[in-house]
Structure formats: C-alpha cells, structure tokens
C-alpha cells in the first residue's frame, strides 16, 4: 500500500472517530437536559441526582436520596436550564433503593426514554450523569463515561434483614460514580436510561469515599416492574418465596421452606432441585436472590423443579418480604385518583371526539353472542344511553334498563345462562367496566390505583373500583402503551372471577374504545358483545 493510500485510510478512520464523537456529544447534550440535581432544602447543601422519565415531570432517583425529606415529601430539583423547580415525592421503594418524584412548575418537561437492561453486554460504553460532590452550581450535570464491567451483580442490602437498599441483578460500571451521583441516570450511547446509579465500592478505611472504578446501578427493567406502584404513590414491597436454597454439588436444593409461604403453596418440598425461576435458569443462590429481589410482592412466578427424576413446573404469587419503616407511608389519595383518571383519559381524551363521548351518545346496534358448551346463540340488539348515564338494551320491543351504580353487578350470576341477552348481570358489568373509559371524571371515592402486576406477560397498572359491598372491578392497563388488557369482576359471595377481554387495539399507540368485548366466566360461559354500527347504519 502506498503512503498516500495509508494516509487516506487514516483520514477515513479519523473522520469516522470524529463523526462518532460528534454523535455522542449530541446525544449526551440532549440527555443532560433531563438530569435533575436534587436538593433536600433551599440551601442546596444536601442532595443527589435524578432523571425525568415522563413529560408530566415524573422522575426517578434513589430512595436514599429522598430519605432526607420523607416527612415533608417536598424538595427541590435543578435542571440544566439553570432553574430550580419544586419537587414532590411520590412512591418509594426502600428495598430496591428507588423513588419516584414529580417536578412541578411547568406543564411539559423533556424526558428520557427507558432502555431495556436485559439487552446490555459487558464492555459496552455507558455514561453516568448527575451531581457528584455537588459541584454543579448551574445544575448542569457532570458526565462520566465508562464501560459495563459486570452484569447480574448482587450487592447485599442494609438493615436488619438486609432488605433495605438491596442491589440485585444490578449493573456494574467502570464509569466514575461518586457521592452525589446517587439517583442519577446511567445512559447507553443512544441516550436511553438503562439504570439508576446508586452505589459504589470504595476502599473504605484505607482511602476516602472516592471512585475506584466500581459503581452499581439499579437496572431499569427492575424499576419498570415497580413503576405503576411508584406512580400510585405507594410504599413498594419486594417479593420472597419464603424458602432458601443451597448448593449441593452443582444442584440447587431447597433446604428450608416456611410454613404457609409461597414456596409451600406452590407445592415445593424439601430436597427439590430448583431448575428455573421466573423463566431464568438458576445455578447459584445468588442467581435466586438476583431474580427474587427484583420482583414486587404478589408477583406471579413460575418455578421448575426436579423431584425423583421428574420435572415439575408450578406457579405461585410471591409473598411480601418484611420491610421495616420508621413510620407508615400514607397514601396520597388525591394524587392516586388523579393517576387513575389519567389511565382512563387516554381512552377518552377530548376535545377531538367530544361529540361522541360522554353520556348522552347515540344508540348503537350491537351483536350479542353467547356460547355455552356446544351451543351458540346470536342476537342483534340496540344499546343506548341517556343524558343521566342510564343504559337501555332493547330487542324487538323488549328492553332492559340499568342505572350506573345499581349494585346488580353479579347479583344474578347464578341465573340460567339460557337467559341469554336478558341476563342483566352481563349488561350491568359491561356498563360498569366501560363507564370510566367514557367518563373518567367519575373517578373518586371507592377508586384506587393498586400498583403493578403482570398481566398477559406485560407490566400492568391495576385500578380497583369497589362498586358495592364485596363487589369490585379491577382494570389492568399495559403500563407502556396504556392499552386496557383486561377487566375482572370480583364478588366476595361468588368466588371465581369473571374476566372481560377487550379486542387488541389495531394501531399501536392510538387508543380507541374497543369495539369487541369478550366475557369469560369460571364455569366456561363465553359472551361476546360487538358494536356493529350506529342506529342510522353509519359504521
């Protein structure tokens, strides 16, 4: 190769490096705009870091950063625009060292998208941003660059049972993490939040508390499971199996199982070999900790075991890991109701379709299909609402009338299924389930955003409405898309939940009122309501 060809190659390589750097600078410049310098007081003397993850100003930080103002739930957040905003503390997760806050004083905030921390690899470049040693007088965050040094790391928690500030399945980085970085985001090179920086190893005793190249970030995928509960303003709890395993050779053996624990309910026996937990192959007790400590209490998990050479797969909901807090964390009901309304509003946002929404809309022709065993029965009928919210179902001069709030939900659940479309329970349930989608303003007393659950394999926000004594409806919304996944109707007197499944939405992102609903009961009765057209025949 000639000298000039080499020089050209060098030029090309240099140009590529420069382009890469320019892109990195641009990404970090944008990312820095959503990093928050958190302060406990106006003197700006104590605090940490955070990051905005939603346009309404919701942001993530560490619990140990906001523990300073747990009582008032009020602090301050400085952004790179040089302004200081009031900050309100919402949900907390002391076990996972995570907290959710909301910046106030602006309608819309820039925010960072969340990445997928299961797709990371060791050696990949990452950047930490925050306010180490509180050096940022103008709130412009400090950026430090490094690589992922290790994944699926386990760092013991504090507190009596080690259940506080436990870093399980966390991301280890070589990026400088110093006091003050706590709560700040860990970004990938695309500007996505992949973790919340919160801990570091220091040569305590021998040297000061300064970075020696080992920082730890809570993985964003763990945080995603708690986000619905954090948004609800709750004190989050983590899950446990109520059992321990130990290595015997290279087999993980259950060596202790608490009575009435999740493990016992799942049918696990002493001496069983644990193979797979929550979909992940486990080899060491650390693997088990890494999985369980990242799951909320009551989370559904599957367990695969080997017993006497046979493989058994079972499933159970996790128990609550005891969490000792100095004082109870009281739920802010007003905030909680606002969060519930937000979930329903995504289906009924005004003003574009105002004419069609709310009570007092025109009548619609619906197709009603009921399947019991082999027998299917289909009828067409008309459904209408009047201005007071009363629903009327008619067919050939025959009709049923319901007022919202009538406590008839599952009152005649035992009525002969052959009653078909005249089964009042079906219509009453449907009215109750769809009403808040059409009129979110009805949310008030008796409503609550419960928190997170896994529904149809997705992280869901669960809303509960206690309709009447012993009767509840629970809606599950996909946290990421806002789509309604299902609604369940519970009745203390008639155990066995009824599930309503709306049809999957056609277009991603855009939420429209589902035009097909399927109702399933524990006894196998399947009912479908399809909206066909309005009474004038306009589809």
Among 37, 44, 186, 214, binds other proteins (CB under 8 A): 214
279 contacts 295 by C-beta, under 8 angstroms: no
- Interacting stretch for other proteins, rule CB under 8 A, among 77-85, 370-378, 391-399, 510-518? 510-518
- Strand 193-200 and strand 215-219: the pairing is antiparallel
Query: Which residue's entry shows tokens 């790391």?
Result: 153
Q: Which of 43, 45, 71, 205 binds other proteins (CB under 8 A)?
A: 205
Q: Does 146 bind other proteins (CB under 8 A)?
A: yes
One character per residue 368-407, x = contact with other proteins (rule: CB under 8 A): ----------------------------------------
Residue 59 or 296: the one with the smaller Cβ distance to other proteins is 59
Which is closer to other proteins, CB of 245 or CB of 316? Answer: 245
* Closest separation in Å from C-beta 154 to other proteins: 7
Q: Indicate which single residue of 4, 45, 71, 123 sits in contact with other proteins (rule: CB under 8 A).
A: 123
* Minimum distance from residue 405 beta carbon to other proteins (Å): 21
Q: Smallest distance from the beta carbon of 213 to other proteins, in angstroms?
A: 4
- CB under 8 A, 24+ apart: contacts of 425-431: 426/519, 426/527, 427/391, 427/393, 427/400, 427/402, 428/402, 429/473, 429/489, 429/498, 429/500, 429/519, 430/500, 430/517, 430/519, 430/529, 431/391, 431/402, 431/404
Residues 42-61 that bind other proteins (CB under 8 A): 55
Quote the least distance from Cβ 275 to other proteins, whole Å. Answer: 16
In the complex, least distance from residue 259 CB atom to other proteins, rounded to whole angstroms: 30
Distances (CA, A) of 42 to 20, 49, 71, 78, 464: 40, 15, 16, 11, 39
Q: Closest approach of Cβ 528 to other proteins, in Å? A: 12
HEC secondary structure over 32-64: HCCEEEEECCCCCCCEEEEEECCCCCEEEECHH
Give yes or no for a contact between 413 and 494, defined as CB atoms under 8 angstroms apart.
Answer: yes
8 Å CB contact between 194 and 120: yes
Residues 150-169 binding other proteins (CB under 8 A) are 150, 152-155
Q: Quick check: 421 and 428 in contact, CB under 8 A?
A: no
| Interaction between residue 360 and other proteins (CB under 8 A) | no
503 touching other proteins, by CB under 8 A: yes
- Phi–psi pair at 201, nearest 5 degrees: -90, 135
Q: Is 199 exposed, middle or buried (0-12, 13-18, 19+ CB in 10 A)?
A: buried
**Contact track, other proteins, 404-443, x by CB under 8 A:** ----------------------------------x-----
Residue 202 to residue 174: CA distance in whole angstroms: 13
Q: Tell how far CA 335 is from the center of its chain.
A: 17
The whole-angstrom separation of Cα 35 and Cα 142 is: 10
Residues 6+ away with beta carbon under 8 Å from 233: 90, 91, 331, 332, 335, 336, 339
**447-486 residues near other proteins, rule: CB under 8 A:** 482
364 binds other proteins, rule: CB under 8 A: yes
Q: Which is nearer to other proteins, 101 or 385 (CB)?
A: 385
Tally of CB atoms within 10 A around 32: 18
Task: Please report whether residue 532 would count as binding other proteins according to CB under 8 A.
Answer: yes
Least distance (Å) from other proteins to the CB of residue 452? Answer: 19
Q: Binding residue for other proteins (CB under 8 A) from 201, 258, 390, 518? A: 201
| Binding test (CB under 8 A) with other proteins, winner from 40, 89, 98, 112 | 112
Find the binding residues for other proteins in span 277-316 (CB under 8 A): 283-284, 286
Q: Does 349 bind other proteins (CB under 8 A)?
A: yes
- Minimum Å distance from CB 35 to other proteins? 11
The residues in 52-111 that bind other proteins, with binding defined as CB under 8 A, are 55, 108-111
Report, in Å, the least distance between residue 439 CB and other proteins: 12
H or E segment to which residue 222 belongs: helix 220-231
Residue closer to other proteins (CB basis): 32 or 318: 32
Which of 306, 307, 320, 361 forms a contact with other proteins (CB under 8 A)?
Answer: 361
- Is 203 one of the binding residues for other proteins (CB under 8 A)? yes
Among 278, 316, 511, 528, binds other proteins (CB under 8 A): 511
Phi/psi at 216 (5° precision): -130, 135
Q: How far apart are CA 111 and CA 59, in angstroms?
A: 9
């Amino acid at each position: 190769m000639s000298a000039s060809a080499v020089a050209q190659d060098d030029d090309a390589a240099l140009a590529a490096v420069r382009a890469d750097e320019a892109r990195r600078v641009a990404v970090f410049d944008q990312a820095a705009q959503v990093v928050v310098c958190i302060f406990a007081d106006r003197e700006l003397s104590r605090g940490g870091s955070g990051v905005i993850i939603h346009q309404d100003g919701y942001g993530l930080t560490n619990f140990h950063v906001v523990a300073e103002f747990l009582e008032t739930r009020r602090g301050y957040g400085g952004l790179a625009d040089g302004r200081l905003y009031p900050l309100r503390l919402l949900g907390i997760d002391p076990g996972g060292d995570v907290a959710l806050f909301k910046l106030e004083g602006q309608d819309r905030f820039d925010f960072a998208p969340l990445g997928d921390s299961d797709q990371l690899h060791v050696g990949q470049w990452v950047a930490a941003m925050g306010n180490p040693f509180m050096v940022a007088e103008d709130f412009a965050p400090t950026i430090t660059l490094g690589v992922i040094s290790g994944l699926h790391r386990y760092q013991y928690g504090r507190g009596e049972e080690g259940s506080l500030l436990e870093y399980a399945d966390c991301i280890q980085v070589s990026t400088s993490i110093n006091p003050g970085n706590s709560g700040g985001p860990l970004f990938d090179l695309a500007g996505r939040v992949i973790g919340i920086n919160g801990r570091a190893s220091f040569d305590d005793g021998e040297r000061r508390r300064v970075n020696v190249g080992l920082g730890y970030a809570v993985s964003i995928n763990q945080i995603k499971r708690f986000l619905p509960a954090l948004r609800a303003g709750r004190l989050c709890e983590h899950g446990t199996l109520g059992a321990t395993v130990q290595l015997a050779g290279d087999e993980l053996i259950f060596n202790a199982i608490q009575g009435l624990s999740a493990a016992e309910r799942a049918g696990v026996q002493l001496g069983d070999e644990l193979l797979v937990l929550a979909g992940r192959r486990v080899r060491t007790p650390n693997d088990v900790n890494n999985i369980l400590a990242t799951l909320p209490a009551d989370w559904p998990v599957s367990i695969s075991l080997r017993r006497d050479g046979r493989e058994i797969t079972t499933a159970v909901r996790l128990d609550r890991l005891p969490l000792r807090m100095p004082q109870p964390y009281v739920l802010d009901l007003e905030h909680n109701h606002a969060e519930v309304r937000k979930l329903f509003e995504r289906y009924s946002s005004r003003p574009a379709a105002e004419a069609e929404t709310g009570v007092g809309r025109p009548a619609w022709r619906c197709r009603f299909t009921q399947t019991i065993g082999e027998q299917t029965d289909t009828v067409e009928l008309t459904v209408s609402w009047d201005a007071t919210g009363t629903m009327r179902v008619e067919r050939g001069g025959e009709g049923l009338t319901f007022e919202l709030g009538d406590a008839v939900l599952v009152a005649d659940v035992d009525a002969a299924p052959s009653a078909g479309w005249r089964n009042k329970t079906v219509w009453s349930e449907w009215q109750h389930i769809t009403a808040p989608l059409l009129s979110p303003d009805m949310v008030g007393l008796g409503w609550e955003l419960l928190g997170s659950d896994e529904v149809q394999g997705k992280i869901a926000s669960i809303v509960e409405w206690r309709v009447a004594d012993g009767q509840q409806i629970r809606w599950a919304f996909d946290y990421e898309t806002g789509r309604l996944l299902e609604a369940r109707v519970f009745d203390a007197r008639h155990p066995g939940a009824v599930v309503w499944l709306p049809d999957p939405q056609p277009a991603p992102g855009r939420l429209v009122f589902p035009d097909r609903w399927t109702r399933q009961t524990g006894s196998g009765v399947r009912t479908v309501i399809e909206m066909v057209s309005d009474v004038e025949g306009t589809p």
